[in-house]
Amino acid sequence: MRNLLIILFCLLTSSLLAQDSSRVVIEAVDTAATDPQKWKEIRNVCSELDIPANPEANLDLLLFTLDWRGTPYCYGGSTKKCTDCSGFTSNAYRKVYDKSIPRVSREIYGNSMPIDKRSLYEGDLVFFATGGGKRITHVGIYLWDGYFAHASSSKGVMVSNLRQGYYRKTFVSGGAWID
């Protein structure tokens, strides 16, 4: 009986959470649709980042990515002078989401709830094993439609796509930061 009550409680809670998050998505679309200036700004930033426009986009995340785009890569860096992948990601999370996350991609991964690639949502984390195997060595922030922002060791802060061969081969998991 106790197990049945726990299952019922979980089902009811997840149903309420799903309804609440659906309302948030609908409100975001309605805001962009009813605010022509915001929609224009989203389209302009998306165009500059060379990604498809999305009316649900987090404009703050897009502007942060655009502002940091081209920042050179340096291992252990976390400033606009030079940054590595976790430096960029931790700065974005602090500025855009007001969340403090670790400065090491493996630690970020270890404190994240795994998310399947098909279930990624804007702001989720994406993790890679660039040295082969499953050891996390790279992190970025998911945008949408396969696109993610990150600090590449060869090109600095940029937007790439999970469908690109290198990222498709080295992708390990998505993740949601657990506070």
Same domain, 52 and 27: no
Q: Distance between terminal CA atoms of the chain?
A: 32
Residue 17: predicted pLDDT: 44
Same domain, 5 and 45: no
Q: Which pTM does this prediction carry?
A: 0.82
Same domain, 145 and 98: yes
Same domain, 56 and 140: yes
Of 10, 74, 82, 138, which one is the catalytic site residue?
Answer: 138
Residue 11: predicted pLDDT: 45
Same domain, 57 and 143: yes
Same domain, 27 and 47: no
Q: Is 138 a catalytic residue?
A: yes
Same domain, 83 and 120: yes
Same domain, 96 and 166: yes
Same domain, 26 and 97: no
Domains in the chain: how many in total?
A: 2
Q: Which two tokens stand for residue 135?
A: 């050891």
Q: Is 46 a catalytic residue?
A: no
Q: Is 74 a catalytic residue?
A: no
Structural domain of 11: 1-34
Of 10, 74, 82, 85, which one is the catalytic site residue?
Answer: 85
CA dihedral 171, 53, 32, 88 (to 10 degrees): 40
Residue 30: predicted pLDDT: 53
Instruction: Extract the residue ranges of the chain whose pLDDT is less than 70.
Output: 1-33
Residue 179: predicted pLDDT: 83
CATH number of residue 142's parent domain:
3.90.1720.10
